[in-house]
Amino acid sequence: MAPPAVSRIGRYLLTVLAGGMLTGTAVAQTHSTSLEAQRAAFKQAYAAASQGGDGWRALAKGLMDYPLYPYLQAASLEHDLQQVDRPSVEAYLRQAPDLIPASDLKRDFLQELARRQDWTDFVAMYQPGLGDALSCDALQAQLAGGAKLDFNRDLAALWAEPALPSACDPVLQAAFDQGLLPPARVWSRIDVALEAGKAGTISGSSKWLPPDEARTAQNLVLALNDPAAALLAAKQWPDNTRSRAAITLALLRLARRQSDQADSTWQQLQGRFHFTPAQRDRVLNALAVFHAADFDSDALARLIALPPSAQTPTSREWRVRMALVAKDWQAVLDAIAAMPSAQQQDDEWQYFRARALDELGRTEEAQRVYASVADQSSYFGFLAADHQNASYALCSTQPATDAGAQQAVLAIPGIRRAFELFAVGMPKQARREWSLALANADAPTIRQAVILANERGWYDRAVFAFNKGDALSYYPLRFPLASQDGLVPQAEQAGIDPSWAYGILRVESAWMSDAQSAADARGLMQLLPSAAAGVARRNGLPWNGGDSLYYPATNIELGTRYLAQMVQRFNGSLWLASAAYNAGAARVSQWVTARGMLPPDLFVATIPYKETREYVARVMYYSVIYDWRLHGKAAPISTRMLPIGQPNGRLDPPDERKRLTCPAPAVATATSSAAAPAAATSSAIAAPARGKSR
């Protein structure tokens, strides 16, 4: 989808490419049309080049000076990689030696040469630093030439990796055959792999151990892959260092899944094996924390009874959460007081300290603590402000535009390529060019580049660039409205609050239109193709397959309808629908059945999954910010978090909206994890919570 100001952008970019500023409306319009024609021609030529052969050349006439022309040549060569020869590749590398497609082509061609076992050409083209797979291919070339391996020179760096590509398998076997992998050395690699949870590496390495030691290594593999089976077998294991390590690992992993079974197994094994104090502490901590996550009746007592050496920040947090479940307000205060000072100062625990003081009738103390939290722009800061009927803290600024600095940014070839790649719908490649071009840039240069990107509709650049320090105050850039994508009218048609829909989108994808999760959720609102197809069918909307979810307008149209389904399922509760969007509706329904009597702030704080707790907090915080972006004021967060059973009146205008003001003299920034911008995330982009489904 073209950015809204594409004609103006096209004029400016073409001006830079021509080497000077052009004036005159007619000339600028002509250049804009010319750039649009080049982009259209590039798309056609790139599609042809990706099919291989030279057919793309006829479509690319007139594109020789277009910044993305080298991508056409590389796409054709990449398609024909199994037939292409070394002179053809080297000719391209000479033409575009410093470009990303050239480095990709070189790496891919080296892998092809290794597949062909053409070690002569491989050695002629190879250079170190191209990744573990090619490093091992280079060692295979060395072996093919009759040379011997030297462990320190050739293998030490690779050996320290917890996992290696399959290209390294023959090299490692050759090292063993040459006597370079004695058992002590093999165990050093197993220890590294164990720390990283790489069962495949441990299993593969065990073949180089004597039979009895190999069986011990396989116990570690079993502990990683099937902890319950490992603990059952452990009753017959000898009491030695590696057995104890395997048992400890298995207990930690089983506690996460079945805390009761892990607990009973620990009772059986702790007297038979001489665990170290550190191992005992780790097991006791895991049992206490996961009994708490399962909301067992004795969980709070377990957490209180943990010896100091077994306590961690997580166990201290769960002590507070279990006290909140019980609404034992003195226990809440005691749990917070038991935290180290630095942990106590987190706005979450200060908010719940104020909440407990309030419930205990210590109103004056509570109001003082609420006031300190309310000075922060965060989910808990906004909750605290509602307890004081105060305005919300938000210090919004806008970075100044510097025309001269922007011209300098646009003179960077990599930035020109990045903007063009974004314009022609290749955002992944655009991000790579952006990152390389600005790798060593100073903050002012990055600021101007982000402003230019934002003008072009490339909104995720601000989200990722302005995520710390003073840049957090650039709220208009960090929370764009992107009206061209139609979120507001689509949300209104779906019957949901646009501000909340914006909040979901911002957390889910950070405005990366091509975001894709490990579970295959796609696009701005991170929809699974199967779920999106169902939404389209139920709503009588067109469905053009999973790839259509990468188009913002399509993704938003389907995403808002999916959100409406979640809202309807949870009787109008936006915060419960948010939790369901992250963790799955069935799981949230279970939580409601178990703890639905809790007030919303306590319910969210006691969600078992850390990701979902923080997800709901971010969505509700971002919803307030987007309400402010849309209206200049914001509905109180308390009106978005009504008790279960009380619908939010999804589209009803609130009786009042709050101002968002910057407290003086201190400049407040988003300090809690709930206020931090979504990253994945990659994350989407982050990894899903356990059992996440949508």
**What does the pLDDT average to over 600-616?**
97
Predicted confidence (pLDDT) at residue 676 exceeds the cutoff of 50 = no
Q: What are phi and psi of 288, to 5 degrees?
A: -65, -45
Say whether pLDDT at 53 is over 50.
yes
User: What pLDDT does 483 receive?
Assistant: 87
Whose tokens are 């061209």? That residue is 484
pLDDT digits (tens, 9 = 90+) for 388-403: 999 999 999 999 999 9
Please give the CATH topology (third level) of the domain spanning 6-146: 70-kda Soluble Lytic Transglycosylase; domain 1 (1.25.20)
Q: Output the CA angle 522-573-595, nearest 5 degrees.
A: 105
The residue count for the chain: 694
pLDDT of 664 above 90: no
**Alpha-carbon distances of 57 from 69, 89, 97, 324, 569, rounded to whole Å:** 10, 17, 21, 68, 55
pLDDT at 493 over 90: yes
pLDDT at 648: 65
pLDDT value of position 650: 53
Q: Is the pTM higher than 0.85?
A: yes
When the pLDDT of each residue in the chain is averaged and rounded to a whole number, the result is 90
Q: Phi, psi at residue 165, to the nearest 5°?
A: -70, 165
Question: What is the pLDDT at residue 33?
Answer: 64
Residue-level pLDDT at 31: 55
Question: Which range, of 28-37, 207-216, 313-322, 614-623, averages the lowest pLDDT?
Answer: 28-37
Taking the C-alpha atoms of residue 22 and residue 11, their distance in angstroms, rounded to an integer, is 9
Q: Which two tokens stand for residue 461?
A: 């650049």
Question: Model confidence over 508-554: pLDDT tens digits?
Answer: 999 999 999 999 999 999 999 999 999 999 999 999 999 999 999 99
Query: What's the whole-number mean pLDDT along residues 401-416?
Result: 97
Stretch 291-315: mean pLDDT, rounded?
96
- Closest CA relative to residue 692, chosen from 523, 521, 533: 521
Q: Which of 626, 658, 672, 644 is nearest to 386 (CA)?
A: 658
pLDDT at position 421: 98
Q: Does the pLDDT at position 685 exceed 50? A: no
**Residue 9 clears pLDDT 70, i.e. is over it:** no
pLDDT for the residue numbered 647 = 72
**483-518+558-675 in CATH: which number?**
1.10.530.10
**pLDDT-derived band at 589, boundaries 50, 70, 90:** very high
Please enumerate in sequence order all residues whose Cβ is within 8 A of that of 610, keeping only pairs 6 or more positions apart, or say none.
Answer: none
Query: 114-170: per-residue pLDDT in tens?
Result: 999 999 999 999 999 999 999 999 999 999 999 999 999 999 999 999 999 999 999
Give the residue among 106, 133, 131, 100 at the shortest CA–CA distance from 121: 106
DSSP 98: T
Q: Is the pLDDT of residue 6 over 60?
A: no
Return the pLDDT at 431: 98
> What local confidence, expressed as pLDDT, does residue 645 receive?
84
pLDDT attached to residue 559: 97
Token pair of 101 as six digits:
């497609």
Q: Is the pLDDT of residue 629 over 90?
A: yes
- Tens digit of each residue's pLDDT (9 = 90 or more) over 324-383: 999 999 999 999 999 999 999 999 999 999 999 999 999 999 999 999 999 999 999 999
Average the pLDDT over 196-215 and give the result: 96
Which spans in 163-258 are helix H?
A: 169-177, 183-196, 199-205, 211-225, 227-233, 241-257
Contact 620, 575 (CB under 8 A): yes
- Please tell me the number of Cα atoms within 13 Å of 275 on its side-chain side: 22
Confidence bin at 503 (pLDDT 50/70/90): very high
